[in-house]
Amino acid sequence: MVALKGLEQAMQQEKTTQSTQDLVDIRHIQIRHDLPALERLEKYLQDIQNPYQFLCGNVTVHVRFLEDGNALSTQLKHYFSSYHH
């Protein structure tokens, strides 16, 4: 659960713009289908480093949520627990 704890820190960092050279390209992230959902999620968070700000090719992606909406951790848990290859 170490990576999940890093979401809070990443959420604070998302308010500042990182240099694109420090961002991870999501196209290079591999989802391990052989792992249980929580481990897939933690592996993804370790690999992406900042789920609020990353690259997709030459495009910088900034993820934002409404204050009264679901948190990123909730959305990611739902995605990885329902993800089937």
pLDDT along the chain (85 residues), means of 10: 60 64 94 90 91 93 80 79 68
pLDDT at 64: 80
pLDDT at 26: 97
Q: Look-up: residue for tokens 């196209």?
A: 27
pLDDT at 37: 86
Handedness of CA 66, 60, 42, 34 (dihedral sign): positive
Q: Residue 80: how many CB atoms within 10 A of its CB?
A: 20
